[in-house]
Structures are given as C-alpha cells and as structure tokens.
Structure 1
Amino acid sequence: MPLEALERIRDQLHVMATTVVPNFCDMAAGLQGQVQELLDGYRLEQPETMP
C-alpha cells in the first residue's frame, strides 16, 4: 500500500480528533472512500493475501 497515502489519511484523522471540524461527516466519508480505494487496489495487486 502506498505509505504516503496512509500517512495523509492518518494526519487528516489526527486533525479531526484534535479540533472541531465543521464538516466532520463529509471529511469522514471522504477518508473512508480513500481507505476503500487503497484496500481495493491492494486486493487487486495481492489477491492471495487478503480475503
């Protein structure tokens, strides 16, 4: 998995956890989509290692 993408998501989650984010739901949905894209891409590259 691309480490840089995971680090960006981690940093965004940190901001969400430590500040008041007015568009929390939209931001969370966007992050969920980014994580799903990473998982889907990884599954395509490594089909034998993930269910």
Structure 2
Amino acid sequence: MSFLKNIFNKKEESIHNYNDFWNWFQQNEKSFYQAVKNNQTIEKDFFDKLS
C-alpha cells in the first residue's frame, strides 16, 4: 500500500473537467489496477482522493 501513499502524498492539481480526470487517471491507472486486483479499499484509497 506504500505505492498509494507515494501517489497521494504528492501535491496534485485539482480536477475540474472530464479531460482533467482522464489525464489524472492515465497517470494513476497502474496503481488503480493494483488496488482492484488486490481487493484493497478502492473507495478510501482512490475515489476519496478525487472528491
């Protein structure tokens, strides 16, 4: 889970539109895949960071 901490401890720009989201997702898709694959707490570790 340390890879998620590395991602989310970085200062990121706000997501204001769909294009911003997809650009962000492309940068984070591998860690999202790992969270899903390993049955980690996706909502807490990933989606809460988007809101």
TM-score, length basis structure 2: 0.37
Larger Rg: 1
Q: Which has the higher contact order (CA 8 A, sep 6+)?
A: 1
TM-score by length of 1: 0.37
